Amino acid sequence: MAGLVWHTVRARKGGLLGTFLALALGVALLAAMTLTLVSTVGGSARAPRWYATPDVVVAGAGTVSITTGSGEDRETSTARTILTRPLPAGLVDRLRAALGGDAAVVVDVAGYAAADGAPGDTVHPWSAAALHPYSWVAGGAPRAAGDIVLSAPTGHRPGDRVTVVTTHGARAFTVSGVLRTDAPGAFYATDTVATELADGRVTAVALTVRPATTAATAGDQAGAPAPPRDAAALAAAARAVVHDARAGDGSVSADDGSVRVLTGNGRRSAEPDPDAERHEVAIALLGTTTGLGGFVSIFVVAGTFAYSVAARRREFGLLRAAGATPRQVFRLVLGEALTVGLLASLSGVLLGVLLAPPFARVLVRTGFAPSGFTAHFVFWAVTPAFGTGLLVALVGAWAAAWRAGRIRPAEALREAAVDHRPMTVGRTVLGLLALAGSVPLIAVLMAHPSAAGVALIIVAGMLLVMGFALFAPLVIPPLAWLLTAPLAASPGAVGLLARHNARGAVRRTAATAAPILVTLGIAGSMLTGFGTLEAATDSAARDQIAADALVVPAVGAGLPDAAVQTLREIPGVRAAVPVTDASVYVRDDGDPERWAARYATGADLAAVLDTPVTAGRLADLTGTDTVAVPAGSHWKLGERAELWLADSTPVRPRVVAVLGKRLDLDETLLLPAALRTGHEPAIATVVYLRLSAEATRSTAARAAVAAGVATATAGAGKLVGTDEYLSAANAEQSRANRMASVVLLGLALVYTVLAIANTLVMATRDRAGEFATVRLAGATRRQVLAVVATEAVLVTAIGAALAAAVTGITAWGARYGLAQLAPSVPVVVPWATLSAIAAACLAVALVASIAPAALLLRRDPADLAAVRE
C-alpha cells in the first residue's frame, strides 16, 4: 500500500499541487503568527537599557501579584505596573551611609518633563547619565540651574533656549548639550534641579562596585569586614541594609516586596519602559491575529482537501470496479493526505520562519509594537503549526475518503458524474454546530453589553462563515437560479449553461465560493464591527461633555496643576475642572487586570461632564479614600474596593458612587484628585472649562479667553472646542482602527485571495472532459471561455451574498449590544473598502478560471477528451 500511495502521489503531482499549496501557505500563516506572538514574551530576559552600567539597583515595587489557592493548588499571577513606588527617604540615606565607601552610589529621581522637539517625558539628575553608555553629539554637562541636556534626535543645539513643561509649570532652560544613547530619551538637569522637579521622589538607588584597590583601602581604614568584590556580594550587602531598615527605624515597613534589590537582567524591571503599553497591545493584537489566521488556514485547507478528494470520485469508482476494497481506497486516500501533509507542513514552517520577521516590522511601522521588536525562531513555537497542518490534512481527507470507499462498483461512474447528495450527515451536523455556536456569543453581548464584548463579534463571524459554507450546497441552487435569471432570459446558451453548471455541480460551486465567503465575511464583520464601535464611542463622548471648551496639552501629555489655578482666574472662565487619565489594577478571577482611571474632584465634575450615576453621589468623591465604580462591577455602594495604583501601591477606597452604563465608562474608575499625590505626576490630561455667557456668544471674548489660556500655561496648553477635541480623538482612533485592520486582516486576506485562485485553478483543471464534450457538441472556444467567466462571476456573487448575510447578522448583534452604552449606534459599513476587496476577489476568480481553461482549450477537443483525470 505504501508503494501504491507514493506512485499515485508522483503520478498526480500536478493535481495535488493545489492541495499542497493550500496547506503549505496555511501552515506558513500559522507559523508566522505563532512565532511573532511568542517573540512578545520573555521581556524579563532583555538586557537593561537605562540601568546598564551599575551592578545593583535598589528600587521600589513595580508589580502587582495576586495569589490564589493553597498547597499544591497555590498559584500567583503577576503584572508589571506602569510606574514603580518611590523609595523611602530613610532607606536612601541608609544605603548611602552603609555602602557609599564600598560602591559608587547614584540616587536616581524622575520628574515629568516635556518639550517641543525633544524626546522623552522625564527629567533625571545629571549623575544618572553615568548609569548607561552615551556619547556627546554637541556641548557638555549642565553646570547651572538653568542648564539642561537633551537626548538625540533633536533639532535643538547647545545655546538654544527651550521651554520645558514640568509639574511645577513651564520653565525656560538653556541647552548645554545633546547626547546620544540607547537608553530611553530623557532630559538631564543638575542634581538639585532634577530632585526639585521630581518632588524628591526617588526612583532607584544604583550601586556600582568600586575597583578592588579603592574598596580594600576603604575597608582596611574602617577596620570593617572585607568590602563586596562583585555584584552578588554588593547585592547581599544591600539586602542586609534593607532588612536592617525594616527592623530598625521603620523606613521600610514590612517584608512585603515594596523594595527590590535587582541584578543582571532583573535591573530592566526598575527602569522606565516607554514601550510597555505598545508591548501589551502587541500581545493582545497578535493573540487575535493568530486565532484569526488559524481559523482561516484550517478552514481553507480542510475545504481544499475535502474538495480535491471528492473531485476524484470517478477515479475511486474505477478502483472499486477493478476490485479494490473500501478499506484499501480509504487507506490510499489517507496515505496521500499524510504524504502531502508532511511535505506541505514542513515547507510551510520554513516559509513561516521567513515571513515572521517582516510581519514583526509591519507591527513596528504601524505603531503596535515597540521599536526594535522582531520575531525570533523558537522551535517549540512552530511545532503546533506543523502538527495542525498535518492534522487538518488528515481530517479534511478523512470524511471524503470514507465516502469514496463506500461507493459500490456498479454505482461508481454514475455517482461520480452528478452531485446527488451534496449534503452529507457529517456536513449537516457540523454546520448546525457552527451556527448554533454563534447564537450564545451574540446573546452574551446582548445580555452583558460592553466594549470588550464586541470582540465576540469576530468569533461569531467566524462561526457564521463556517456554518454558511457548510450549508452552501443547500442555498446555492436557489441562489444561482436567482442571480442568473437575467442571463438565462437573454439570447444564447452562455447564461443557461452557467446556471445549470452551478446548480448541477453544487459541491464544486460550494468549494470555489468558500474562499470568497471567508474573505468577504471575515473582512465585512470585522470592519463593520470596528466602524460601528467607533461611531458609538463618538456618540457617547459627545453626550457626556457639558463643558463649553477644553484646554488640552500643546506639548507633552499633560498640563501642570500649577497652571489650573491660573486658568480659573482668566476673565470669562466660570469653572476649570482638571481630569487626569491614568491606570489602576484590579483583581479579575485571580489575575491582576489593568483598568482605566480618572482622577478628578467629584463635586466639580457635574459642571462640565454629564456622568450617569445609579447609586451614591459623585460629590462624595473627595479625600484619598473614595472611589466611583462602573456598572457591572462586583463592588457595591459602601464596600471597600481592592485596587493597586499605577505605581503598584495597594489601596482600599470606599465605594461612594456606582456609575451608569456608558461606553466610555466601561472598566473605568473615578478616583479623587488628592489620591494622585505621590503616586502619579501632578499633571492634568485635559481641563474642562465653563465659560461665561459672553465668552460663549462673542467671538472676541472667546479669543480673549484663548489668549489668556496661552499666557496662563506659557504655551503648554491651547483652547479647543468640543467638536475639535472629539474630531482629533476620532481621527486618532480611526487611524488606530485602520492599522489594526491591516495587522488583523492583512496576511489572512492575502492567504484567502491566494486560496481563491488555487481552488478555482484546481476546479478548472478537473473539467477537461466537460470542456471537450461541449466543444465536440459544437461550442466555440470563445463560448466556452464565456461560460467559464460567467461561472466565475456567479461564484463570486454567491460568496459575496453569503458574506453579506454574515456581515448583516454580526452588525445587528454589535448594534444591539452597544445600544445600551451610547445614545445612538449607527451601523457603519465601509462600503468602499469592502467593494475593493470584492473587486479583487472577482479579478482573481476571473484570471484563475479563464487562464487554465484557455490553456486546456488550446488542445484539440478529441485530445482534450482523453486527458487523464
What would the pLDDT profile of 321-354 be if each residue is shown by its tens digit? 777 777 887 788 788 788 888 998 999 999 999 9
Q: Is the pLDDT of residue 836 over 80?
A: yes
Question: Mean pLDDT highest for which of 64-78, 225-239, 433-447?
Answer: 64-78
Mean of the pLDDT values across residues 170-191? 95
**Highest-pLDDT range among 371-375, 495-499, 660-664, 764-768:** 660-664
- pLDDT in the model for residue 451: 60
Q: Please identify which residue in the block is written with the cell numbers 503599553.
A: 277
Give the residue with greater pLDDT, 384 vs 151. 151
pLDDT of residue 219: 47
Closest CA relative to residue 767, chosen from 505, 419, 518: 505
Whether residue 153 has a cis bond before it, omega within 30° of 0: yes
Task: Note the pLDDT of residue 419.
Answer: 55
- Comparison of pLDDT for 697 and 487, the residue scoring more: 697
Average pLDDT over residues 355-377: 83
Cell matching residue 433: 454546530
For position 215, what pLDDT does the model report?
A: 45
**Of all helices (H) and strands (E), which one includes residue 628?**
strand 626-629
Check residue 289 and give its pLDDT. 77
Peptide bond into 826 cis (omega under 30): no
Of 137-146, 269-278, 703-712, which gets the smallest average pLDDT? 269-278
Q: 624 in helix, strand or coil? A: coil
Pairing of β 717-720 and β 643-644:
unpaired
Residue 123, phi then psi, degrees to nearest 5: -115, 135
SS3 333: helix
Please say whether the beta carbons of 663 and 818 come within 8 A.
Answer: yes
Give me the mean pLDDT over the 647-652 stretch: 93
Least-confidence region, from 75-79, 354-358, 803-807? 75-79
- How high is the mean pLDDT of the chain? 84
Please give the pLDDT value at position 424. 74
Give strand pairing partners of 109. Answer: 202
Is residue 212 very low, low, confident or very high in pLDDT (cuts 50, 70, 90)? Answer: low
pLDDT single digits (tens) 506-540: 878 888 888 899 989 999 998 998 888 888 888 88
Listed residue (442, 458, 446) closest to 521, CA to CA: 458
Q: Is 120 exposed, middle or buried (0-12, 13-18, 19+ CB in 10 A)?
A: buried
pLDDT digits (tens, 9 = 90+) for 424-458: 777 888 889 988 888 888 777 666 666 666 667 78
Report d(CA 96, CA 58) in Å as an integer: 11
pLDDT confidence of residue 252: 54
Judge whether residue 272 has pLDDT over 80. Answer: no
Answer whether residue 161 shows pLDDT above 90: yes
Query: Once rounded to an integer, what is the mean pLDDT over residues 814-831?
Result: 87
* pLDDT at 145 exceeding the cut of 60: yes
d(CA 140, CA 696): 50
Task: Report the alpha-carbon distance of residue 385 to residue 26 in Å, rounded.
Answer: 9
Give bridge partners of residue 64 from the DSSP assignment: 79
Average pLDDT over residues 707-716: 89
Q: Which residue type is seen at 647?
A: D
pLDDT at 716: 87
pLDDT band for position 627 (cuts 50, 70, 90): very high
Choose between 714 and 307: higher pLDDT: 714
Q: Which three cell numbers stand for residue 589?
A: 478571577
| DSSP-derived 3-state class of residue 591 | strand
How far is the C-alpha of 519 from the C-alpha of 845, rounded, in Å? 13
From edge to edge, which strands make up the β-sheet containing 259-262?
A: 103-109, 202-209, 56-60, 259-262
What pLDDT, on a 0 to 100 scale, did the predictor assign at position 414? Answer: 53
Task: State the SS3 of 439-456.
Answer: HHHHHHHHHCCCCHHHHH
Dihedral class, residue 577 (left if φ above 0, else alpha if ψ from -120 to 50, else beta): beta
What share of residues in the chain are helix, strand, coil (percent, to 5)?
55, 15, 25
pLDDT at position 731 over 90: no
Q: Is 360 left (phi over 0), alpha (psi -120 to 50) or beta?
A: alpha
| Residue 411: pLDDT over 80 | no
Residue showing cell 542648564: 147
Lowest mean pLDDT among 115-129, 481-495, 696-710: 481-495
Distance in angstroms (rounded) separating the CA atoms of residues 108 and 131: 9
The confidence score (pLDDT) of residue 649 equals: 92
Region of poorest pLDDT, from 203-217, 336-350, 604-618: 203-217
Q: Where are the beta strands (DSSP E) in 527-572?
A: 549-553, 559-560
Of the chain, the percentage scoring pLDDT greater than 70 comes to 87
pLDDT recorded at residue 869? 47
Query: What's the pTM?
Result: 0.80
Q: Which helix (H) or strand (E) holds 137?
A: strand 135-139
Place of cell 474630531: 727
Q: Out of 5-14, 56-65, 451-460, 675-684, which region has the weakest mean confidence (pLDDT)?
A: 5-14
